[in-house]
Amino acid sequence: MIDIHCHILPATDDGAVSVEESVEMCRMAADDGIEVIVATPHMFDGVHTTPDREHIRARIEEVTRACNGRIKILPGGEVRYSHEIFQEAGDAESRIRLNGTSYMLLEFAFEMVPANIELTIYQMLQAGITPVIAHPERNKRIQRHPEIIADLVERGAFAQVDAGSLTKSFGPDSHALAVRILEAGLAHFIATDAHHHNKRRPLLKPALAVASGIVGAEYATALVDANPRALIEDKAIPYQPDPDLDALLGRRKKKWYAFWR
């Protein structure tokens, strides 16, 4: 399995606090069956200092040495919607790109969705960057208006669901919308969004089991294997089901009855 969203770099944001914790997170992830982690420190969120490429590279090398290369760690970032992303977009080696690919993990503030996000998606795509929306199921506005994520996917973005949302770690509202996003075929990745070794841990198997029970093993497995593997290799995302808006909006399918024989 491949985890495209993890705060595993030590003393970088609100994730791992030390190299020792990063190593423990690597051990837990490897034991869970995760082979590759994309390190995604917070960027441009107004709270944490956005690390430069050299910092990210140095921390990855440090953790890789400390865990004896037990797990492969790739560079990336969880990028908060901001004006800075447009300044970075033109750089082919920008830190906002996941493993230097054409994909970017894009985060919104949890209470809102930017008013001009449709234009932003278009501008990012025109700049050669495909946004992957981080944990839309945890966003309060999308919880009230789930059609927003369907619209963003239709415009060319992808959606990443947090493992903790499926295992109910983030409460009933996030869990309910995560289930509906899966049922609607609008989820493209499941990632840990792990921060520590004792809470918000780097585990995918529990969420994979839940997802398999909702949409079947083939679709669920693609969200932690085939799709993230294509992402880190900068290839087209292979598993993209046709969206089912009735499932997303909780509408029952119409039943048609014949009144004749």
Backbone phi and psi for residue 30, each to the nearest 5 degrees, phi listed first: -65, -40
CA dihedral for 206, 209, 215, 220, sign (positive or negative): positive
Which amino acid, 38? Answer: V
Nearest CA among 98, 114, 195, 125 for reference residue 148: 114
- What is the SS3 assignment for 20? helix
pLDDT at 252: 56
pLDDT at 89: 85
pLDDT at 258: 37
Torsion of Cα atoms, 10 then 15 then 17 then 22, to 10° = -50
| CA 118-42-227 angle, 5° bins | 65
User: In terms of DSSP bridges, do strands 78-80 and 42-43 run parallel, antiparallel, or are they unpaired?
Assistant: parallel
Q: Which domains does the chain have, with CATH numbers?
A: 2-249 (3.20.20.140)
Q: d(Cα 1, Cα 204) in Å, to the nearest integer?
A: 8
Backbone phi and psi for residue 52, each to the nearest 5 degrees, phi listed first: -85, 175
What predicted TM-score, i.e. pTM, was given to this entire model?
0.94
What the block records as the tokens of 233 is 């290799």
pLDDT at 253: 52
- The answer to whether the CB of 34 falls within 8 A of the CB of 1 is yes
pLDDT at 203: 98
pLDDT at 83: 85
pLDDT at 112: 94
- The answer to whether the CB of 161 falls within 8 A of the CB of 169 is no
Q: d(Cα 63, Cα 1) in Å, to the nearest integer?
A: 19
pLDDT at 260: 37
End-to-end distance of the chain based on CA atoms, in angstroms? 53
> pLDDT 10s digit of each residue in the chain, 261 long?
999 999 999 999 999 999 999 999 999 999 999 999 999 999 999 999 999 999 999 999 999 999 999 999 999 999 999 988 988 888 888 999 999 999 999 999 999 999 989 999 999 999 999 999 999 999 999 999 999 999 999 999 999 999 999 999 999 999 999 999 999 999 999 999 999 999 999 999 999 999 999 999 999 999 999 999 999 999 999 999 999 989 999 875 544 333 333
